[in-house]
Homo-oligomer: A and B are copies of this chain.
Amino acid sequence: MEKFKAILGLVQKQQTTLSFGFVALFTVGGEHIFSSVVFRCPCSSWNFLYGCVFLLVPSLVLLLLGYLLNSKTWRLLTGCCMNTSKIFKMNNICGTVKVLVQITVNALVAPLTWVAVALLHGSYYECAMTGFNNTAYIHKVCDGKSKCFQDFHKLPCDGKSSLSASDREDVLLAIRAQSQVLGWMLIASIMAVALAFTCVTRCCSPVSFLQFKFWMSYMHQENELFESLATEHAKNLAQQNIRIFFESTEAPTMETPDNKAWEKIS
């Protein structure tokens, strides 16, 4: 039982890492389903558009979804039109940018995973590049194979191109290899940027490591407590108002913190 609690504690501590992992895992699963069930390269001049749409639009959708589902976005935006000073005060611009960057980093996990996995899988890139009308690129990939140039966009479809099976496979393997190399480069650069970024932010933090941990824990506790107290307060207020309605009595008004106080703690 104690060990179980320890594991739960560990899970709670590594929440961010774990949630990133889960998001990435779901994205990998989704990509696999899409590329095997929905995706079928048209093998025509549409190739480039079709491949790019499957490579990039889902990641755009995931990015927007990431912004939409992050409560920090709304904590930042709620009421900011009524109260522009909240954002544009000199000492707040820095904080706003910091929160925006945080939100963006969280929102970027899923789309980058999608692109990386799609590149490692290779089929979207294959379809897109066979519709890419760049003579130099086609010459380099075709490598002198006859009929490759005019049938280039028919390569991803089995049994359509007039090339020999082995020539076709050569070209496809070359394109897929490019895709996978690009995928690994993307993953490596994401990791490098993530490491550098975390280093710089942590390095510039005005507090030391344990104090940082303490404040994280404090914020977590404050959030939880605030929520439970707010719920209780709301319950009491509702109970009172409804009793007034049914019993037609006048009750002493309960005090609720005013708007200014709310803004200050938000």
Q: How far is the CA of A211 from the CA of B176 in the complex (A)?
A: 53
| Secondary structure call for the A interface | helix
Integer count of this chain's copies in the complex = 3
- Sorting the interface of chain A by its residue count into under 10, 10 to 19, 20 to 34 or 35 or more gives 35 or more
What 0/1 pattern do residues 5 to 25 of A give for CB contact below 8 A with B? Answer: 000100000000100000000
What 0/1 pattern do residues 205 to 216 of A give for CB contact below 8 A with B? Answer: 111111111110
Say yes or no for A174: interface residue by CB 8 A criterion.
Answer: yes
Residues of B within 8 A of A8 (CB): 3
Say yes or no for A79: interface residue by CB 8 A criterion.
Answer: yes
Known: A49-B181, A68-B195. 17 other contacts (CB 8 A): A40-B177, A44-B143, A44-B170, A46-B177, A46-B178, A50-B180, A74-B209, A77-B202, A78-B202, A79-B207, A80-B203, A211-B259, A211-B262, A218-B234, A222-B241, A229-B242, A229-B246
A residues near B, CB below 8 A? 3, 8, 17, 38, 40-44, 46, 49-50, 53-54, 57-58, 60-61, 64-65, 67-69, 74-82, 120-121, 143, 157, 159-160, 166, 170, 173-174, 176-178, 180-181, 184-185, 187-188, 191-192, 194-195, 198-199, 202-215, 217-218, 220-222, 225-227, 229-231, 233-235, 237-239, 241-243, 245-246, 248, 255, 257, 259, 261-263, 265-266
